[in-house]
Structure 1
Amino acid sequence: MGWLYLLAAGLSEIGWAVGLKYTEGFTRPLPTILTVVSMIVSLFLLGLALRTLPLGTAYAIWTGIGTVGTVVLGIVLFGEAATAMRLACVGLILAGIVGLKLSA
């Protein structure tokens, strides 16, 4: 169950990271509220995951999911560059996430 909590926490992290862009510096009330709720959900789920998963592994995977998802959505939603170097680096992050999962 810890892994499912961790996955959901990582997805919520993507939500708040992308949500920050939509808040426009916390000047838009609805995106700000949704972003803060997503932050709370993400941290709550990470806390649940930490009941059964090692701290270092869980935290690295949580931030990795958030990083990869945020980069992908930045490319899709905001037209950020999808250079070969950026995509290769995302691939390395994914490899690290898989490696941590396999070693846990």
Structure 2
Amino acid sequence: MHWFTLIVSGIMEVGCIISLKYAEGFTKFPPLITYTLFGFLSAFLFSTSLKFIPLGMAFLIWVGIATIGIILFESLLLNKHYSLFDFLFMLLIVIGITGLKLFQTK
């Protein structure tokens, strides 16, 4: 359950950063509200997962999920083009996160 909480926290961080993009320097009110909501949820869930997952490991996974989520958002919805090498190295991040989870020591 704590890994699920960490993953959801990373997804909430994606929503937070995307909202920040649309807040246009905190001049647009609706994105500011979603930024605050997603940011609070992300921080709350992240801190909850820290009860069970070491800080360094949790932060690495959280940042990886957020980074890949933001890049996928840009690629799929904003028509930002990434090269094959960009996606290859993102795949390495996913493989690294998966490996950390699968082979963690207790």
How many Å separate the matches in 2 of 1:67 and 1:45? 17
3-state SS of paired residue (1:32): helix
Deviating beyond 6 angstroms after TM superposition, the runs of 4 or more aligned structure 1 residues are: none
Q: SS in structure 2 opposite 1:6?
A: helix
Higher helix proportion (structure 1 or 2): 1
RMSD: 1.0
The unaligned stretches of length 5 or more in structure 2 are: none
Q: Give the total of aligned pairs.
A: 104
Inter-partner Cα distance in structure 2 for 1:19 and 1:89: 26
TM-score normalised by L of structure 1: 0.94
Map of 1:11 onto structure 2: 11
Q: What percent of counterpart residues are identical?
A: 37
- SS of 1:53's equivalent? coil
Distance 2:94 2:87 in 1: 10
- Tell me the TM-score normalised to structure 2 length: 0.92
Q: Which runs of 5+ in 1 are unaligned?
A: none
